[in-house]
Amino acid sequence: MAIVLTKKAEDKVREILSEQSEPYAGLRIQVIGGGCSGFQYRMGFDKNFSDQSDAIFEFDGLKVFVDKTSLMYMDGAEVDYVEGLHGAGFKFTNPNVSGTCGCGSSFSV
């Protein structure tokens, strides 16, 4: 099981991480319940991780933690950082998604 960060996403995460006032171990990505389609992604920096409950991915020294339950919903997903007319942000391309809500903030599997 794996996820992929594009180079643009990796660079943006490193930029944001460098602006933090405290040291963090890496980026945590989760799938949580919510939204009109049932699931949403959550990203944030984390100081702690567990070899037993987290899958740990490394991208040129940048650690990404995904709890094993979330990884079941994200296996094969790609995280990119996109900039466009409607703003900028992280975009998930997940082969496990069967549908999304109208606003695109949640998904179903």
C-beta neighbour count of 18 within 10 angstroms:
7
What share of the chain in percent tops pLDDT 90? 69
Q: Are 12 and 50 within 8 A, CB to CB?
A: no
DSSP H stretches of helix in 40-105: 68-74
pLDDT of residue 74: 92
Q: Could you tell me the pTM of the whole model?
A: 0.86
Would the pLDDT of 107 be above 80?
Answer: no
Task: Count the domains in the chain.
Answer: 1
Domain that holds residue 92: 4-108
Q: From residue 12, give the alpha-carbon distance in Å to each of 33, 70, 82, 107.
A: 26, 22, 10, 24
CATH of the domain at 65: 2.60.300.12
Q: Give the model confidence (pLDDT) of 50-102 as tens digits.
A: 889 999 999 999 999 999 999 999 999 999 999 988 899 999 998 987 767 66
